[in-house]
Structure 1
Amino acid sequence: MTAPNSDHHYSLRSLQSLLGVPRRVVTGLMEAGFVNPSRGPRNELRFTFQDVVLLRTAYQLQAANISSRKIVRALASLRAKLPEELPLTGLRISAVGNTITVRSGPDQWEADSGQLLLDFEVAPLRGAVTFLDSAPGSTASREQGGEWFALAEQLAVSDPQGSEHAYRKAMELSTVPHYEAYTNLGVLLVESGRCVEALTMFDRALEHFPADSLLHFNRAVVMEELTRDEDAASSYRKCLELEPDYADAHFNLARLSELRGDKQIALRHYNAYRRLCP
């Protein structure tokens, strides 16, 4: 599958925006022969996804003072391996020793070249592409955990698939467990009907934050969705052990107790809920 795009081409203006460089830089790269864009019906330049990635790579290699001969050789190898459109898993392109390594999801391949210096990701967001520099363990990488999280929050309503991808990248890049990314992604998965995956996400989060009442509450809600009422009740009880005044946990546990026929426990939790929410 590929990221959605209306015509799979980019204008010169959108290319400048994607690369974050002035027009003269793009035209200079074109004049150097790094790409050969097509022309549209009004003679406007039209760039493919491959052109976008190749120009980004050429620009970064030029900035690292790599020779044109090596850049051309690297781009020739890279061009032969790039998909025509951006996969939903995105791409990561980096220099490892004297080779360019390209990764898409679990797949990875190498493009031979000379000595190179680059490391960036091409991510599918809002049906287009976004570039993020992402050297593992670097300050930029840590900062990008926050960038990805911010993007995920922005996309949660308009592009749930892009939001999920961004939350996962935030967790991957963060140097410490990213509580909000775990929590928000779990809720997003529940809302999309993927409760088994949501349960896995909350369980992973609880490995890092075992004393968090909200995570236990969310886990209980997922258990109810999966019709595992006994497990749900157990998680609600754990939530209340950690936060005795968690009103919604009292109400949900009362409801489950009533369904089970345990009226005394149900009444106790209903009373606690009414006390907390008069």
Structure 2
Amino acid sequence: MKRRNASHDYSLRSLQSILGVSRRVLSGLIDAGFVQPSRGRRNELRFTFRDVVLLRTAFQLQSAKIASRKILRALARLKAELPEELPLTGIRITAVGDSVVVKTGESQWDATSGQLLLDLEVAPVKGEVAFLDAAPRNIVGREKQTEEWFALAEELTDTDVIGAEQAYKKVLELSPIPHYDAYNNLGVLLCEVGMKYDEALSVFDRALEHFPEDALLHFNRAVALEELERYDAAVQAYERCIELNPTHADAHFNIARLSEIRGDKQSLLRHLSAYRRLSR
């Protein structure tokens, strides 16, 4: 993944794009002393990752009508807690009053109580800094946030399972339409990494309410049932998968295994034969 270093490598223009605010607003935040950018070779303003986060936080607190002196105190504490670079797992910033807290790793997903003035995740989405607000206001915002949360979930899968799980759940919460990949990926993640088979089964059941004719969802649901030792139900789910996709070799193989466990020799031979034929 492309990573930015701790040097002053954000221009004013890139900052506008990242933060989604006008040049006038940015200039006002800088003039208020919320950050102290350096100067580049051509005397242009340059900003660090910390500056980006501080400005985003200052803008949101200012929008919440917090007094500048309180914002400055909060930002001083925030700056002391911020890492020089954005971790792969991202960070979460919350603010209650003028108390600002940075959370990393598993703690970033902890529930936060109180009247939040600020609650956002800062994440490396597709190699860039992305600010993921908790509650986008319209459909376009929800669609954009859905894409960003999904990208984050995929990137976190290998480094932060809890973060990936929460990000996929955020996709399902935000997406204006049922999100097939988020349902499937979350269910698989819960099974393969988290060993949360009951929860995975619930995810696949919800997914099948929206995608009842999808063979892969039926197959993955069967795997969850098998892990829960609900073998009869697992066989039924594998059989439904085969009805929808007769060439699904693994479904035949898994039924053969379960047939052996259940002592059903006829089913064992039939599905093992189908598996061998399809695997040639």
TM-score when normalising by structure 2: 0.66
Q: Could you tell me how far apart the structure 2 residues matched to 1:134 and 1:150 are?
A: 14
Deviations 1:159-183 (A, max 9, x none): 9759985663240475599774241
Instruction: State the 1:78 CA deviation.
Output: 1.5
* Alignment map for 1:15-30 (pairs within 5 Å): 15-30=15-30
User: Could you say which residue in structure 2 is the equivalent of 1:87?
Assistant: 87
- The answer on whether the counterparts of 1:141 and 1:173 sit within 8 Å (CA) in structure 2 is no
Distance 2:116 2:195 in 1: 42
SS in structure 1 opposite 2:25?
helix
Q: Residue 222 of structure 2 contacts residue 235 of structure 2 at CA under 8 Å; is this kept in 1?
A: no
Amino acid at match of 2:27: T
The aligned runs of 1:100-179 (5 Å cut-off) are 100-107=100-107, 117-134=117-134, 140=137, 147-151=144-148, 168-172=166-170, 174-175=172-173
Distance 1:117 1:263, change over 3 A: closer
Q: 1:43 to 1:99 in 2, by over 3 A?
A: same
Q: Residue 240 of structure 1 corresponds to which residue in structure 2?
A: 238
2:73 & 2:194 partners in 1: Cα distance?
45
> What residue in structure 2 maps to residue 112 of structure 1?
none
- Residue of structure 1 aligned with 2:193, choices 190, 197, 200: 197
Q: Summarize deviations over 1:48-87 as a string: whole Å, max 9, x none.
A: 1110111111112222222222221221121122121222
More divergent stretch after superposition (17-26 vs 253-262): 253-262
Please give the alpha-carbon distance, in whole angstroms, between the structure 1 residues aligned to 2:205 and 2:58: 47
Superposition deviation, residue 95 in structure 1: 2.4
- Contact 1:120/1:133, CA 8 A, preserved across alignment: yes
Give 1:33's aligned residue.
33
Q: 1:159 to 1:174 in 2, by over 3 A?
A: closer
The offset of 1:19, in angstroms, is 0.6
* Aligned mates of 1:105, 1:35 — CA distance in 2: 26
Q: Which runs of 5+ in 1 are unaligned?
A: 109-114
Displacement of 1:131: 0.8
What is the CA–CA distance in structure 2 between the aligned matches of 1:223 and 1:207, rounded to whole Å? 11
* Change beyond 3 A, Cα 1:241–1:90: same
**Root mean square deviation, CA, Å:** 4.7
| Aligned residues between the structures | 254
What stretches of structure 2 of length at least 5 have no aligned partner? Answer: 109-114, 209-214
| Alignment partner of 1:183 is 2:184 | yes
Say whether the 8 Å CA contact 1:34–1:58 is kept in structure 2.
yes
